[in-house]
Amino acid sequence: PGGGIMSGEQRADCDTDTQSGQPAQSAQRSTLGVLKTAVGRIRHDPFLAVPFIVAGIVVALADWLRTHDPLPVASTDGLSQTISVQYSVVPQGTARTARHVGAIIDLKMPYLLWGVGLELAVVLVVAIAGWMTITRTLDTSPHLGGLSRYLLTMLAVLILSQLWGSSFLTTDRFLLGLGLLAVFLIVAVHIFLFPANLVTGNGLLAALRLSYRWSRGYGMTIAGLIIVIGLSYWGLAKIPHVGGFLSTAVVAPVHAVVLGILVSAKTKELDAKPSD
């Protein structure tokens, strides 16, 4: 599939690709089309969902452990709101509980190791799940360097979320935050493909440049994906007891496959136009 002009016969062929789980030309131009292609790809290859099912179990277990250990715990930002967009740069579910930095300050060493170790274990499992799913979607050879950079990105997201809080939109703050929302979407659109470009073995700066370059022309589509995926993370996470598992096991694999589909389509488009 490519982004160029196709004949009627070629367009018909690409329209049937969705049934086989491959990215269709029409799917590259609309939010709904990309999501339908991603779901079709997972149906065609169910193993794409397995890593995040395992990660979902780990997230749910971490939720349970946080609520039963003696360390302070809080509900995840946004779950108490009327509506919230819980979007992350890297595919990951929304846990129902969160442990803030203040909860582990001045702890005795055993409790400190436990609190930090639990959070790092979740990050590691979710990062491996995202790396595996995107790699399989791209049908490319695994890059351990890509995994290490992907993991570093996950850690950076964790640290930033601790410092700034998770990104969310609430109805009572909508008008006041409309400008900030627009800025957030512009930035998020341009770095949307960043994780998938890391998986292919690109360095951090190269992955950012490619993400910025390849997102041009797909702004509205990617913005729609960010909103739909973020709302889905939030909506499933609100379900009592199993929300963390469902958010991770159901939405995160779709998010990861979407990234793989878009990068794969863009790569094939460029391969078809070597002069570019």
Question: How high is the pLDDT of residue 27?
Answer: 46
pLDDT value of residue 177: 61
The residue ranges of every structural domain in the chain are 30-72+95-271
Mean pLDDT of the chain: 84
Q: Residue 17, Cα to own-chain centre: how many angstroms? A: 24
Q: CA-CA distance, 214 to 24, in Å (whole number)?
A: 17
Residue 274's pLDDT is what? 60
Question: What integer pLDDT is reported at residue 147 of this predicted model?
Answer: 92
- AA identity, residue 151: L
pLDDT in the model for residue 183: 83
Top pLDDT among 142 and 273 is at: 142
* 77 vs 75: CA distance, rounded Å: 6
Q: Which of 20, 63, 58 is nearest to 42 (CA)?
A: 20
Q: What is the pLDDT at residue 184?
A: 85
CB atoms within 10 A of CB 92: 28
Answer yes or no: are the C-beta atoms of 18 and 36 closer than 8 Å: yes
Dump pLDDT digits (tens) for 2-22.
433 333 334 334 444 444 444
Looking at residue 107, its amino acid is L
Report the SS3 class of residue 273: coil
The residue ranking higher by pLDDT, 42 or 146, is 42
Rounded Cα gap, residues 271 and 139, in angstroms? 16
Smallest CA-to-CA distance from 258 within 11, 3, 31 is with 31
Task: State the average pLDDT over residues 144-167.
Answer: 82
What would the pLDDT profile of 31-47 be if each residue is shown by its tens digit? 999 999 999 999 999 99
pLDDT score at 226: 95
pTM over 0.75: yes
Q: Is the pLDDT of residue 171 over 80?
A: no
DSSP state for residue 251 in the 8-state scheme: I
Instruction: Express each pLDDT in 227-256 by its tens digit.
Output: 999 999 999 999 999 999 999 999 999 999
Closest CA to 261 of 33, 60, 108: 33
What are the structure tokens assigned to 145, written together?
A: 């360097």
Q: Does position 209 have pLDDT exceeding 50, yes or no?
A: yes
For residue 13, CA distances in Å to 53, 76, 89, 141, 272 come to 33, 45, 32, 27, 16
Lowest average pLDDT, out of 23-32, 50-59, 93-102, 231-240, goes to 23-32
Q: How confident is the model at residue 174 (pLDDT cuts 50, 70, 90)?
A: low
